[in-house]
Structure 1
Amino acid sequence: MSDHQQAEITWRDGAVPVSRRFDDPYYSLDSGWDETAHVFLAGNGLPARLRPGFQVAELGFGTGLNLLAFVAMAAEAKPAGPVRFTSFELFPMSADDMVQALAHFPEAAALAAPMIAAREQDMRVWTMGEVEVELILGDARQTLPAWQGQADAWFLDGFAPAKNPELWEPALLSEVARHTAPGGSFATYTAAGAVRAALGEAGFAVERIPGFGRKRHMTVGTLA
């Protein structure tokens, strides 16, 4: 029995992939690349915190856009050694859907070939420049507790809490905290009160800050 199921996608206006399972788009077409940089990179104080061995972990691999933004940033920041990116995903996109989704972001598409090749071959570990990538497929409620790593920065990028509550359960967010290095951080686009409360209960010092574009707020935090 497979540990995951393939994402089921419909295309809004032929351009924006929408999850049929969660009825939620993967990104904003007009600004997905910039939104990723604002929410997940700047929200975690990157690239200033990068150093060899730095570990990013992510809930929700999606199109791979966050990974590609991190790869681009690492290439520019030139850490003195490899950094790591681990993503947890239950419903991975097919390689063909990834190609179609990323075609709208030239900065991402230019970097995507190794990631697309890895997905075509169902590889779970591969390297992109200075970034060592691991994709852990399965239900994060089971796979994260078993993970041996500790993240310096978390990208919490599941579908909206109202549509995908499983990825925002207090028990899972407690596991996020348990798998965070001392002084580690998280960032997420959502400002949902229940999510902020659960992350605070888990041990993070939580802060609501301005979101990207038309989104008024997002949430960041540091392990207290």
Structure 2
Amino acid sequence: MADHHSLDWRGETPVSTRFDDPYFSLENGLDETRHVFLQGNGLPDRFCGGFQIAELGFGTGLNLLAALQLWRQTGITGQLRFTTFEAFPLSAPDMTRAQAAFDDVAEIASELAPHWGKNTFEIADLWFEMVEGDARETLPQWQGKADAWFLDGFSPAKNPELWSPELMAEVGAHMAPGASAATYTAAGHVRRGLVAAGLEVTRLPGYGRKRHMTRAIKPA
């Protein structure tokens, strides 16, 4: 396991000391996740057994909790597959503390808490893997194809490595036909990178104080 990411806390919101950026919206991180990554990827309407989510930036695990909650609410049979790429994983206690701010996912957070710190685990309706390391090196080695991407690195201004044209090209290459990607940022260079990757890019209303977000679709 890599060295754990060090944090400052603003109330119960964790802030990365490495990137000087909060892990989720100071307004409501769970609502932001639902707006950007779930609605932004057309979920739950596109869910089906074995649906593969891939993510850049696992952070506190909040996106996983929200996705699994929606999966269960939808009543889909089979497993949700969730692969996340994370260079600087949080410690299990920090993840648990951050997730405790969201009562709405408390039951799922409690269920998954014993698994934090594992690179892979499986329960009845979830197959999970965390690929540790620099995604610029690890994503090209991944054999999977995502149905939906959560592009959730720290802000492009503070974490440019996770938003390079080369990495966006790898995201596009690891998408199934008709797959989607969503991110909270509408930065022009990120959008251009996604277009260059062969994706159809749309700017959508953002969450909270963010005016816009981005959705990208791989042509079927």
Instruction: Determine if contact 1:99/1:109 at 8 Å carries over to the other structure.
Output: no
- 1:127 matched to 2:129? The reply is no
SS state at 1:161 partner: coil
- Identify the residue that residue 223 of structure 1 maps to in structure 2: 218
- The structure 2 residue matched to 1:39, chosen from 36, 41, 49, is 36
How far does residue 15 in structure 1 lie from its aligned partner after superposition? 1.6
Q: What stretches of structure 1 of length at least 5 have no aligned partner?
A: none
Higher mean C-alpha deviation, range 66-75 or range 22-31: 22-31
Instruction: Determine if contact 1:114/1:128 at 8 Å carries over to the other structure.
Output: no
SS state at 1:110 partner: helix
Q: State how far apart, in whole Å, the 1-side matches of 2:210 and 2:130 are.
A: 29
- The structure 2 residue matched to 1:209, chosen from 204, 207, 211, is 204
SS state at 2:49 partner: coil
- 1:78 matched to 2:75? The reply is yes
Q: State how far apart, in whole Å, the 2-side matches of 1:172 and 1:5 are.
A: 23
Q: How many residues align?
A: 219
- The structure 1 residue matched to 2:100, chosen from 85, 100, 103, is 103
- The structure 1 residue matched to 2:151, chosen from 149, 152, 156, is 156
Q: State how far apart, in whole Å, the 2-side matches of 1:215 and 1:34 are.
A: 13
- Identify the residue that residue 5 of structure 2 maps to in structure 1: 7
How far does residue 118 in structure 1 lie from its aligned partner after superposition? 1.5
Instruction: Determine if contact 1:183/1:222 at 8 Å carries over to the other structure.
Output: yes
- Identify the residue that residue 65 of structure 2 maps to in structure 1: 68
- Identify the residue that residue 142 of structure 1 maps to in structure 2: 137
How far does residue 76 in structure 1 lie from its aligned partner after superposition? 0.7
How far does residue 115 in structure 1 lie from its aligned partner after superposition? 3.1
Output the TM-score relative to the length of structure 1.
0.94
Matching of residues 42-61 of structure 1 within 5 Å:
42-61=39-58
Output the TM-score relative to the length of structure 2.
0.96
Instruction: Determine if contact 2:27/2:208 at 8 Å carries over to the other structure.
Output: no
**Stretches of 4+ aligned residues off by more than 6 angstroms:** none
Q: 1:35 to 1:128 in 2, by over 3 A?
A: farther
Higher mean C-alpha deviation, range 77-86 or range 87-96: 77-86
Q: State how far apart, in whole Å, the 1-side matches of 2:103 and 2:134 are.
A: 31
Letter in 2 for 1:68: L
- The structure 1 residue matched to 2:190, chosen from 191, 195, 203, is 195
Query: What RMSD over aligned residues (CA atoms) do the two structures have, in Å?
Result: 1.2
How far does residue 124 in structure 1 lie from its aligned partner after superposition? 1.2
Letter in 1 for 2:41: N
How far does residue 127 in structure 1 lie from its aligned partner after superposition? 2.6
SS state at 1:112 partner: helix
Q: 1:129 to 1:34 in 2, by over 3 A?
A: farther
Letter in 1 for 2:32: E
Identity %: 55
Q: 1:215 to 1:88 in 2, by over 3 A?
A: same
Q: State how far apart, in whole Å, the 1-side matches of 2:25 and 2:124 are.
A: 27
- Spell out, residue by residue over 1:91-141, the C-alpha distance to the aligned partner (whole angstroms, 9 max, x if none): 00101111111111012232113432122xx32111345121111111111
